[in-house]
Amino acid sequence: MKRIVAAPEFAHYPDDWHLSPIVDAGEFLFFSGQTGFHPGGFVDPDPERQFRDVSGFLQSNLKAAGLTLADVVEMTSYHIDMRRHMPLFLKIKDEYIFAPYPAWTAIGVSALMTEGTLLEIRVVAQRGPAK
């Protein structure tokens, strides 16, 4: 049985974007791609702030599901200008994600859904043993 989860600021996504922010399938939770698109309707043009926004929004959705970045087992990132922005992205990613690292695939793309978006991250998280 699956259940849909979303942080309050992203609860409108099923109606507006026709997607589920998080599908809770039991042991594994599947997160839709997260960008720096603010619920207020804008994307910060500064790459560093945008990458931090993506990380913050991802953490907000993880928290809504009762998880943290430590529960992420797989990450896929989509980059508009991977060669130029990768050093900055790696620096910021390493401020949030620690060993043991999730499996990660980085993909260069020509465009993302929202104008001005430079990065999209989707993850799969796993619930740990009951505490």
Distances (CA, A) of 10 to 34, 67, 87: 10, 16, 29
The answer to whether the predicted template modeling score (pTM) of the entire model surpasses 0.85 is yes
User: What CA–CA distance (Å, rounded) separates 45 from 27?
Assistant: 36
Domain boundaries, the chain: 3-126
Please name the helix (run of DSSP H) or strand (run of DSSP E) that holds residue 101, with its range, or none.
none
Q: Indicate if the pLDDT at residue 131 is higher than 70.
A: no
3.40.50.620, 1.25.40.10, 3.30.1330.40, 2.40.50.180: CATH of 3-126: 3.30.1330.40
pLDDT tens-digit readout, 86-112: 999 999 999 999 999 999 999 999 999
pLDDT tens-digit readout, 9-65: 888 777 887 888 899 998 999 999 999 988 778 899 999 999 999 999 999 999 999
Which residues make beta-bridge pairs with 108? Answer: 79
